[in-house]
Amino acid sequence: MLELQGLDVDIGVVPVLRGIELGVPDRSMCGLIGRNGAGKTTLLRSVMGALRARGGKISFDAHDLTAEPGHRRAHVGIGYMPEDRRLVPDLTAEDNILVPVWATGVAGYQKRLSWIYELIPEVAAFRARPATELSGGQQKMVALARALIVGTKLLLLDEPTEGIAPVLARRFVEILRDLKSEGESVLVAESNDKHLHGLLDRSYVIERGSVKLGAA
Amino acid sequence: MNLVRDRTVQGLTLALGVMLIVSALVPSWIVNQLLFAFSRAIVVLGLLVLWRTRLVSFGHALYFGLGAYTVAMTSRYTGVNDAFALLGAAALLSTVVGFFVGFIIRRYRDIFFAMLNLAFSMILYGILVKTEALGSTDGFTIEQPTFAGIAFEDPSEGKLALLCLLMVVGWAVAVGVQAYLRSTLGRLTTAIGDNEIRVEYLGYSAEHAIHIKYVLSTFLAGLGGGFMALALGQVDPDSMVNWTASGELVFVTILSGPGSVAAPFIGSFVFEILRTYAFEWMPHAWQMIVGGTLLIVIFFMPGGLWGLVSGVAQRLTRRRPAAAAPGAGG
Amino acid sequence: METALTILLDGLVFSSYLFIVSLGLTIIFGVMKILNVTHGSFYAWGAYTAAFLIGLAANAGWPDWAGFAIIFFAAILVGLVLGLILERGILQFMYHRDEVLIVLATFGSFLVLEDTILLVFGVDPYFAFQPMQLLGSVELGGIARDTYGLTLIGLAAVLAVTSWLVLRRTHWGKLLSAVIFDRELAMAMGLNVSRVYIVTFVIGAMLGALGGAYIAPTVSVAPGFGVDVIVLSFAVVVIGGMGSVPGAMIGALAVGIVRALAVHKFPQFELFVIYAVMATVLVFRPEGLFAPVKARKI
Amino acid sequence: MPPPILDVRNLHKNFGAVTAASNINVSFTAGETVGIIGANGAGKTTFVNMITGYLKPTRGAILYRSREITGLPPRSIARLGICRSFQVSQVFVSLSVLENLLTAVAIASSPGLGMLRPLRRPELIERAERIMERYRIAAFRDQLASELSQGARKLLDIAMAVAGGPKILLLDEPTSGISTEEKQPLMDVVMEALKQDELTILFVEHDMEIVERYVDRVLAFYQGEVICDAPPAEALRDPKVQEFVIGGEYQAGGGHA
Amino acid sequence: QDKPVKMSVVSFLSGPAAGPFGVPARNGAEVVILAINAGKLPAPHNTKGLAGRPIEVEYIDESGGNTKQVAEYRNMVEKRGVDVALGYVSSGTCEALTPVAEELKKLTVYAVCGTPRIFEESKPQYVFRTMSHATSDNVAAAYYVREYFPKIKGYTGINQNYAWGQDSWRDFDAAMKQLTKAKASTKLQWPKLFQGQYSTEISALLLDKADLIHSSFYDGDLESFIFQGQTRGLFKKKQVVFTVGETSVYRLNKRMPEGVVLGARGPYGVIVLNRPSALNKWFIAAYKDRFGSYPPGPAYQYAQAVLATKIAYDAAAKKAGAFPSQDQVIAQLKGAEFESFSTHVKMALGDGHQAITENGYGITKWDAKAGEVKLEKVKFYPAECVNPPAGVKSVDWINGGMKGAKCG
Ligand SMILES: Nc1ncnc2c1ncn2[C@@H]1O[C@H](COP(=O)(O)OP(=O)(O)OP(=O)(O)O)[C@@H](O)[C@H]1O
Ligand SMILES: Nc1ncnc2c1ncn2[C@@H]1O[C@H](COP(=O)(O)OP(=O)(O)OP(=O)(O)O)[C@@H](O)[C@H]1O
Ligand SMILES: [Mg+2]
Ligand SMILES: [Mg+2]
């Protein structure tokens, strides 16, 4: 489904990713595990088109995404949850979730929205509150929901369980499990695989900008 | 604190020596250009101090004009006509006004800071334009000042004396600003621009620091305005207090670049020359040249003229074109 | 009583004028965080183009009402051409730069455009009085009023309602919020950010040009026409809260009505009104009447 | 029993209809290490924010060494020696790591006119460098903070909180975003400092292993209320805590089990 | 080969005052300078050049404020070595330049400017002005009002909120107080320069009880005010006096309201269109030939300044028997008296540095047959009637009852 071949990415003049080879097969859950500063976020942002690759190729479902403009990702079914949440402050939680829907103009999102609310009932509880008012963890949930709404094929999650209370982290893991059973592909970046243990089909270890396949 | 070993200070001192000699040799129109340029440079130095905190004032013509008008009014109405007294009064008054206005201004950031300054400057502009006792739109002319009691018969000698004074004062304030920028308080500048919450939680008031900075900049603006008034022998609201005057000051700041306290002196001189020639070559489209230059500076010279100079110097001496702008000069 | 009506009408007319000239500015600021000094150029170019074309049309024997069509045509034309040139030619390379530098870039462009007017249209003023003449005057509150001036109120109302509906009642407005907040995020959510910027800037430019074009028939269109409008519209926008359409409306109303009151009752204070209102509002509400929501930081 | 260093009395905070703190009464003695746990949105950050002056409580009082500090601005509270780190790192992005720390150290050590002394003084640089070593960010010494990864920024944030030499240290989720390998070493460092300086530490934490290992006492929040105030062994077995915070039985050793 | 005489002609070439004022002024100077260099001025001025040497002219923009002009003036003199600086419309600029001209000792001929202060508050040696100052405009206006509108009970004003507008109103108000019993309104309108939108002011003027309105508007503001006022019947309801309204006549043409009192800051432009002197006929023809329209007031005023310079140079050369020094030229210009294109000019005030001329007003009337605006009831007031005598300050003179006025 997602295939990175020899990806090189610089930020400014600093080379951050080097020769990344990574694949997320259909209906699988992959982990991208690495310490602070290893390059996880950079990798996900590159896939999302926020950073231009200096070399290499990003392909998705036989599309070549390398040269496509960034906003096309959402249109082809990739959902993204940034590590620092980034909710639009003056919109309500629900509006935030719907932003990608409006942006891509996909039809029939209602069903998916109620499915998401079933999946994460906490969000339904504060759906009408402005995003500014939500606590860090609450925002995290909204960000996940927002990634889910258009991410029908692939989800890119950047440290989804960071800053999440154990009670919720457990729910997150359950949610991921559900997603997997629904046939979605997921790439999760985490600084450890504590919560993900046993869920991953594949896990990549990233270190100083290079990945290698780790034990699943 | 070891200012003597500071490279910038050494450079400034050397430049002062050279300039004192050079200015006696150049034709008088250059003396005038230098007078205008360095007077403005002192104001720009103040704007540079603000810019280091990412604050830009679109209204510093308020203090520039206040300084200039103080000089004009004092010499007209009190009979005091000594450059030292006049300049002292100019700097003092604008500092006092800056101090009080600062209590309001210090709460604002970004574009709001710029705009509120604009608003205050336009209020002064309105008052000047309307008040005949203040010269209305015509402004005032100012007589040749004396220098600590010494009067010069020949006006061009007077101009030269003023230039020498200006350069010495310019050197002194530049060194002072350099010391300030190296101090903890001055270094807080960039920090405040980045993250005020953190500054507060480190136990210092960002507003307080900005207030000090603001007062410093108003002091410099008033002093520069005072010099400008003496250099021109004339004050008027349109070229000294109106928003276009503030715009010009910001323009010169950008042109100079924030890299060094020496930059404003170079930038102002280049600006004066640029404007003179633009005016000579295209008398009715000189704005186009000025505007075009501004665009070129913004696009191709992010660090201003100073960035250009130091960039070249750095490429010669160092391997990486390091993060030049904000941290330099230390 | 009649004076009160007159003051109100005068205030409304002037407010409408202020609103029309500031709307484009506030929209561009709201979406792109650009304080666009070239707004004054759009205004001037709109006025010049309209006045020039109306003059041509009059010479060609077109009926006077064609002037109205020309006004809107001129606004669209100028907005499209200048807006695209500026956004594609300059601003698109600057979005990652400091806000203040962008202001200065627009200031530079403004200076250039200002002199371009001189080169293109010369220094002689243009008059395009036909539309105002056509509508004549009506008697209201005991004095004659030019009908054209009153249509300004209508135009302002239409623009206010339209922009409010678009921004508040369609998803467009909310998507704009997303762009405003974070470009990268909006892009990741599937929004073509550069297109949003182009469209916004062109619309803002059109509104600026429309302000000028619509005012053109009432004035002598001469060099320097766009200069004062900049400060004026800045003041209105700052009072209202930068980037807020209702803010611009309230700001324009406040300034317009206070000013009308001053002109009628204390004309000697007229000059200070705008800045006095601005300073007062800002002292109590630093970010204007309708301040944008800030993200929670801690 | 020694008098409390920090005493929180009857604290309330409402945001419109949301109650983020309700009738909180706790006090802390000097040298204590307290872990604050709770579900997301339970009011932990709000509690920290009120103590450090970022938010004004709707009702109630906060006393530091018997002196009321409720409503004081953050900088005054910081000057009293109550320092904090943030859930979302607050660093000076356009300064280098060294300059970030220098700023923190300098402000703490130069009251009044001392602010006019140069920032880059050898003694300050030395102190900043020591702190960098300790918090494992020495490698980034001259890198701009904007270039740091999320985790490194977090470390810097904590280091800056400690740099001022606080009496009470409040850390909001210090270990979130820090990789597992680094978590414990980091906490070891912080705790070590605590033991030396008789510091009082309050930290918000979601990782129960860390809580269990390092704290003397646990405060558990739920919907703005303190539902449990007990030593960790006891708190982690509290049924309410298990239901609302942990989401099941607590197993030592975490999810791996 | 003789070195040419370097002359800079300064007027508004950009900004709102360029079209109505600055450019015609420049054009007026140009017509005369070209003729001088070709030796084609009517006799007795039909010698080539200034004292035989051609004029090398540069045209300079006056916009940008006094400060910029001071700097520019210095460049002009010190850097480019100009021999005569000529022109300037703005009073403020003239005031600012005077001390600089004195300092640099450079012959400077002001063509326009308004303020009387230049020669009343100091005694410059190198500076001249070849037209009367603004006091005469407003004194003449008050005489005209007394003569043609004796029934006026009250008057008000709308003037730009800057020195020009303020001075104009002050003089007019003072003269009206001396000459009539009419009362000044308490609500004077002081709109900002270049405001462009006057609907509120027009309402206030319409509601004001005063039946006469004084205005010294002169540029784009004048025309905007006329359009907006006309639609609302302002000029039918109120008697309006435009002291500088002449600048707009040729451009507005049919759009110029009827029945408005117009001045041209002296005997220039449309007011003297029909004067039959040879110089006037030549000037109108030459200007029309080159620029396709009648010369408006500013063109006359600048032309007059150039002519005065030529007369002084030629006279000095004659006296010296060689190309004259600057001091010799100055000696000739001082106190000179000469026939200019449209009027007699006498350098009578300020120790022979400030000219006085007659001043005239008329009332607009559309002449449908000719397709032109004509002036009716044109009336001129002699120079000694509307200008203060030498040595008396204008303001004191008016307030003191205009003693010594010779109105014939
Ligand atoms: N703007 C930048 N300029 C230069 N280097 C950068 C920049 N942003 C990030 N880096 C560097 O890129 C590397 C990868 O950063 P990235 O944010 O991808 O790490 P990460 O794996 O997501 O870490 P974390 O778990 O802490 O979030 C880091 O070493 C960081 O210092
Ligand atoms: N500024 C605010 N305006 C409105 N509501 C707020 C504000 N700050 C916090 N809240 C609300 O108060 C409650 C407590 O928030 P707080 O940030 O204290 O939670 P927290 O315990 O720190 O959660 P997390 O672990 O997710 O960070 C939440 O419901 C939140 O939505
Ligand atoms: Mg990361
Ligand atoms: Mg929190």
Domain range annotation of chain A: 2-214
Kindly state whether D18 is in contact with chain C, defined as any CB-CB distance less than 8 angstroms.
Answer: no
CA–CA dist E362, B132 (Å, integer): 31
Q: Which residues of C touch A74 (CB under 8 A)?
A: 188-190
Q: Which pLDDT score is estimated for C48?
A: 95
Shortest distance, CA D144 to any CA of chain B (angstroms): 9
In tens, the pLDDT along B165-221 reads 999 999 999 999 999 998 888 888 788 888 888 998 998 888 899 999 999 999 999
- Report residue D193's pLDDT band, with 50, 70 and 90 as the boundaries: low
Ligand 3 center to A157 CA (angstroms): 11
- For residue D54, give Cα distances in angstroms to B189, D21, D42, E86: 22, 14, 18, 66
Same-domain check for residues D46 and D169? yes
Q: Which two tokens stand for residue C201?
A: 């800037």
DSSP 8-state code for residue B145: P
> Domain count of chain C?
1
DSSP 8-state code for residue A15: E
Three-class SS state of D230 = strand
**Any residues with CB less than 8 A from the CB of B223 and at least 6 apart, and which?**
B42, B67, B87, B90, B91, B94, B169, B173
CA–CA dist C215, C222 (Å, integer): 12
Sheet holding A53-60, edge to edge: A14-24, A2-11, A53-60, A63-64
Distance between alpha carbon D75 and the CA centroid of its chain, in Å? Answer: 16
Q: What is the pLDDT along chain A (216 residues), one digit of tens a residue?
A: 888 888 999 888 888 898 888 989 888 889 998 888 888 999 999 999 888 888 888 988 878 888 888 888 888 889 999 988 789 888 899 999 999 999 988 888 899 899 889 888 888 988 899 888 888 888 888 999 999 999 888 999 998 888 888 888 888 888 888 888 888 899 999 887 777 777 888 889 998 888 888 765
Is residue D171, in this structure, part of any structural domain at all? yes
In tens, the pLDDT along D70-112 reads 989 998 999 898 999 988 889 999 899 999 999 999 888 877 7
Chains E and D touch (3+ CB pairs under 8 A): no
Same-domain check for residues D76 and D171? yes
Domain around D22: 1-81+165-257
Same-domain check for residues D110 and D179? no
CATH of the domain at D197: 3.40.50.300
Is residue C161, in this structure, part of any structural domain at all? yes
- The torsion angle over the Cα atoms of residues A114, A116, A120 and A125, rounded to 10 degrees, is -40
Same-domain check for residues D156 and D186? no
Tell me whether residues C297 and D88 touch, CB distance under 8 A. yes
- Is the distance from the beta carbon of residue D49 to the nearest atom of ligand 2 less than 6 Å? no
Ligand 2 center to D218 CA (angstroms): 20
Domain around C196: 2-284
Q: What percent of chain E has pLDDT over 70?
A: 100
Kindly state whether D87 is in contact with chain A, defined as any CB-CB distance less than 8 angstroms.
Answer: yes
CA–CA dist E391, B56 (Å, integer): 51
Same-domain check for residues D77 and D169? yes
> What is the CB neighbour count within 10 angstroms for residue A72?
17
Same-domain check for residues D254 and D192? yes
> Domain count of chain D?
2
Kindly state whether D22 is in contact with chain C, defined as any CB-CB distance less than 8 angstroms.
Answer: no
Is residue D97, in this structure, part of any structural domain at all? yes
Q: Which pLDDT score is estimated for C298?
A: 65
Same-domain check for residues D211 and D240? yes
DSSP 8-state code for residue D206: S
Which of C86, C72, C41 is CA-nearest to residue C200? C86
Cβ proximity of E56 and E5 under 8 Å: yes
| Choice from A135, A141, A144 to test ligand 2 binding pocket (greatest atom count within 8 A of CB) | A135
Q: Which pLDDT score is estimated for D256?
A: 35
CA–CA dist C37, C231 (Å, integer): 9
Shortest distance, CA B190 to any CA of chain D (angstroms): 7
- Is the distance from the beta carbon of residue D17 to the nearest atom of ligand 2 less than 6 Å? no
In tens, the pLDDT along C177-208 reads 888 888 889 999 999 988 999 999 999 999 99
CA–CA dist C229, C37 (Å, integer): 10
CA–CA dist E36, A123 (Å, integer): 89
CA–CA dist E386, E360 (Å, integer): 10
Which of E87, E161, E179, E158 is CA-nearest to residue E128? E87
Q: Which residues of D touch C298 (CB under 8 A)?
A: 45, 49, 54, 86-88, 90
- Which pairing describes strands A78-81 and A154-158: parallel, antiparallel, or unpaired? parallel
Instruction: Give the helix, strand, coil percentages of chain A, each rounded to 5.
Output: 35, 30, 35
Is residue C131, in this structure, part of any structural domain at all? yes
Would you give the end-to-end CA distance of chain A in angstroms? 18
- Report residue B327's pLDDT band, with 50, 70 and 90 as the boundaries: very low
DSSP 8-state code for residue C126: B
Average pLDDT of the residues in C113-125: 89
Q: Which of B120, B293, B295 sits opposite C109 (nearest CB)?
A: B295
Same-domain check for residues D42 and D100? no
Same-domain check for residues D158 and D183? no
Cβ proximity of C263 and E161 under 8 Å: no
Domain final residue pick, D143, D164, D185: D164
Which segment of C177-181, E148-152, E357-361, E388-392 scores lowest on mean pLDDT?
C177-181
Element housing B118 (H / E) = helix B110-130
Kindly state whether D171 is in contact with chain B, defined as any CB-CB distance less than 8 angstroms.
Answer: no
Residues C66-72: contacts with CB under 8 Å, at least 24 apart: C67/C128, C67/C130, C67/C131, C67/C134, C67/C217, C68/C131, C71/C131, C71/C210, C71/C213, C71/C214, C71/C216, C71/C217, C72/C210, C72/C213
In tens, the pLDDT along D156-185 reads 998 999 888 888 999 998 888 787 777 888
Give residue B5's identity as a one-letter amino acid code. R
pLDDT top residue among E354 and B312: E354
Which chains does C contact via 3+ CB–CB distances below 8 A? A, B, D, E
Ligand 1 atom with the smallest distance to the CA of D154 is 26
Residue spans of alpha helices (H) in chain D: 44-51, 74-80, 97-109, 122-134, 150-163, 180-197, 208-214, 232-235, 239-241
Cβ proximity of D224 and D207 under 8 Å: no
Same-domain check for residues D173 and D256? yes
Give residue C93's identity as a one-letter amino acid code. F
Whether D1 has a pLDDT exceeding 80, the answer reads no
Give residue B14's identity as a one-letter amino acid code. L
Kindly state whether B232 is in contact with chain E, defined as any CB-CB distance less than 8 angstroms.
Answer: yes
pLDDT top residue among D136 and D240: D240
Q: Which pLDDT score is estimated for B7?
A: 82
Which chains does E contact via 3+ CB–CB distances below 8 A? B, C
For chain B, the C-alpha Rg in angstroms (whole number) is: 19
Ligand 1 center to D148 CA (angstroms): 5
Considering only CA atoms, which residue is closest to atom 31 of ligand 2? A134
Which of A86, A88, A70, A67 is CA-nearest to residue A78? A70
Cβ proximity of D170 and D85 under 8 Å: yes
Among chain A residues, CA nearest to C296: A132
Chains A and E touch (3+ CB pairs under 8 A): no
Q: Which of E67, E78, E100 sits opposite B28 (nearest CB)?
A: E78
CATH code linked to domain A2-214 = 3.40.50.300
Q: Which pLDDT score is estimated for D252?
A: 59
**Any residues with CB less than 8 A from the CB of D111 and at least 6 apart, and which?**
none
Among chain C residues, CA nearest to A105: C190
Among chain C residues, CA nearest to A45: C188
Residues flanking ligand 1, CB < 6 Å: A 11-12, 14, 16, 34, 36-42, 83, 191; D 146-151
Is residue C116, in this structure, part of any structural domain at all? yes
Give residue E98's identity as a one-letter amino acid code. T
Cβ proximity of A103 and C218 under 8 Å: no
Ligand 4 center to D139 CA (angstroms): 29
- For residue C46, give Cα distances in angstroms to C40, C52, C78, C210: 10, 10, 6, 6
> C146-165 burial by CB neighbour count: b if 16+ within 10 A, else e?
bebbbbbbebbeebbeebee
Is residue D86, in this structure, part of any structural domain at all? no
Q: Which C residues in the span 184-243 are in contact with A, Cβ-Cβ below 8 Å? A: 184-193
CA–CA dist D227, E244 (Å, integer): 85
- Report residue D31's pLDDT band, with 50, 70 and 90 as the boundaries: confident
Q: Which two tokens stand for residue C221?
A: 């269109």
Q: Which residues of D touch C97 (CB under 8 A)?
A: none
Is residue C293, in this structure, part of any structural domain at all? no
Q: Which pLDDT score is estimated for B329?
A: 33
Tell me whether residues E78 and B276 touch, CB distance under 8 A. no
CA–CA dist E134, B21 (Å, integer): 48
Q: Which pLDDT score is estimated for B328?
A: 35
CA–CA dist E87, E98 (Å, integer): 13
Tell me whether residues C188 and A90 touch, CB distance under 8 A. no
| Choice from A7, A35, A41 to test ligand 1 binding pocket (greatest atom count within 8 A of CB) | A41
Q: Which of E75, E92, E99 sits opposite B138 (nearest CB)?
A: E92
Q: Break chain B into its structural domains and give their ranges.
A: 3-242
Kindly state whether D170 is in contact with chain B, defined as any CB-CB distance less than 8 angstroms.
Answer: no
Among chain A residues, CA nearest to C193: A71
Distance between alpha carbon B329 and the CA centroid of its chain, in Å? Answer: 18
Is residue C279, in this structure, part of any structural domain at all? yes
CATH of the domain at C125: 1.10.3470
Q: Which residues of A touch C183 (CB under 8 A)?
A: none
